[in-house]
Amino acid sequence: MRLNLTSGAKLRGIAAGLLVMAFLAGCQKSEFENLSGIVSDAKTTAIAGANGQNYLVVTKSEALPAGFEKQISAYGEIISSIPEIGELVVKPTTADFEKKVARLGNIQSVFPDFKMQWIEPVGMLGQVGSESIGDNESFFQYLWNMTAISAPAAWDAGYTGEGARVFILDAGIDADNPEFSPNLNQELSASFVPGEEFNVRSGRFFNHGTHVAGIIAAADNSWGVIGVAPNAEIVAVKVLSEYSGSGDFSWINQGIVYAAENGADVINMSLGATLNKNGFYVDEDGVLQKIPAVYIQQIIHAQQRAIDYAWRKGAVIVSSAGNSSINFDGGGPTIKLPGGLNNVITVSATAPQCWVTADEPNFDLPASYTDYGRSFVEIAAPGGDEVCEEGSPYDLILSCGTGNYPSYAFYFAGGTSMASPHVAGVAALIIGKNGGQMDPFEVTKKLLNTADKIDGQGISPWYGKGRVNAYRAVTE
């Protein structure tokens, strides 16, 4: 069922099954503001192995040389290997591990595998009921975001993402959710988080990866919601803990390479870490940490290597800009990963303001929280916001939550984490139209050239090349 979302009629009540969440994912606002005044309060990380954890060892060559793992095993236990990009995760077993390994031949860098908060915890605003399979109810009337990007027109033109494979690097997925049953490749889905499966624990709750997956490819099944590319194949790769939203840098890199090695057409990463090149980051507990500045450069280099590998293998890589209202223009020391890296399409967030009561709603206002910058943002997409009346969820993005048969939850949530999957979904539409394989450069060009210019013809700090348009992307 498709309803006209431009009418001025106020939606009264809310269908059973909607859970309302405030989820403005990303780093805390302005972590590094007035840094000079708080350096004395920063905790200096003990370099004994990433808070007692592991090290990343990166070779000069972009693939692990023969015999290299055996050589390194003399200094530590090999925890995991990413041979395609010349990276090892090692638990030291010898004193002065970093210095000893750095002196070996063919070593680019050795640095702690820091754990960071990549998505923020969630706050619940309210909860009502549940929707059961068999109710045959549709929540399309709440999906202003699909109207904003002209997704229904793309579907009506025959483009639904069939033939495209989208990898979702996130905090897992509810693999049993009926919204994903036609599209989720469970055999390829995987977890790089020790002790956690890619399929999240049972129960009814908000899960970041499940919500993101619903925006990309919830099925067209006359039930619940629908994704931008409802016939695209999706693969869930858990790189963050479903309990905390935190993760090691190596988990992200492993997930990127895994996706590239398994036929990813699109990789969506609704996640981000903000670093200061002078040697600061905020850890998983929200504590400002001071580390050697060289570590920041080494972290950036290692993740850029993973991104470049996936790009060369044919993957379009899409990431959220972040929710700290940071202007990344000006060449300062702050960088966002992975959004600030080359070969990544970085997505800012748009939102309406009280669209359900507006005679002519504007869906393209910059979200109040979105990070921005002409040098940073490539494109914009709906992320939702909470600037309307307190407790009103309708300006947020509605998508899937977890559940147990036959009862499943749906949530309103907001953030650039919700904007990125809209662009990933449109990329899948483009790729599906072209038979399932396209050069990522051509996909990126199509996305940017067909985006709607919201505030002029140039590059906007808020919208980049414009707000993504699904219909134009598959018809122009």
Report which secondary-structure segment, H or E, holds 281.
Answer: strand 280-282
Task: Using CB atoms within 10 Å of the CB of residue 83, give its burial: 0 to 12 exposed, 13 to 18 middle, 19+ buried.
Answer: middle
Q: Is 208 a catalytic residue?
A: yes
What's the CA gap between 79 and 53, in Å, rounded? 11
Backbone angles phi, psi at 301, to 5 degrees: -60, -45
Q: How far apart are CA 21 and CA 412, in angstroms?
A: 5
Rg (CA), the chain: 22
CA distance 223 to 254: 35
Contact 393, 412 (CB under 8 A): yes
Q: List, in sequence order, every beta strand (DSSP E) within 287-378.
A: 288-290, 316-320, 334-337, 345-351, 365-366
Quick check: 223 and 230 in contact, CB under 8 A? no
Residue of 109, 113, 150, 170 marked active site: 170
One-letter amino acid at 91 equals K
d(CA 399, CA 367) in angstroms, rounded, equals: 18
| Annotated catalytic residue, options 130, 138, 417, 460 | 417
Amino acid 144 reads W
Mapped onto helix, strand or coil, the DSSP state of residue 31 is coil
**Cα-Cα end-to-end distance for the chain:** 27
Length of the chain: 476
- Cα(109)–Cα(164) distance, integer angstroms: 36
Cα(429)–Cα(425) distance, integer angstroms: 6
Burial of 290 (0-12, 13-18, 19+ CB in 10 A): middle
In sequence order, the 6+-apart residues with CB closer than 8 A to the CB of 162 are 231, 232, 432
What's 71's DSSP letter? H
Exactly one of 130, 189, 208, 246 is catalytic; name it: 208
Structure tokens at 22: 């405030």
Type of residue found at 193 = V
Smallest CA-to-CA distance from 299 within 281, 324, 322, 285 is with 281
Residues marked active site are found at 170, 208, 417
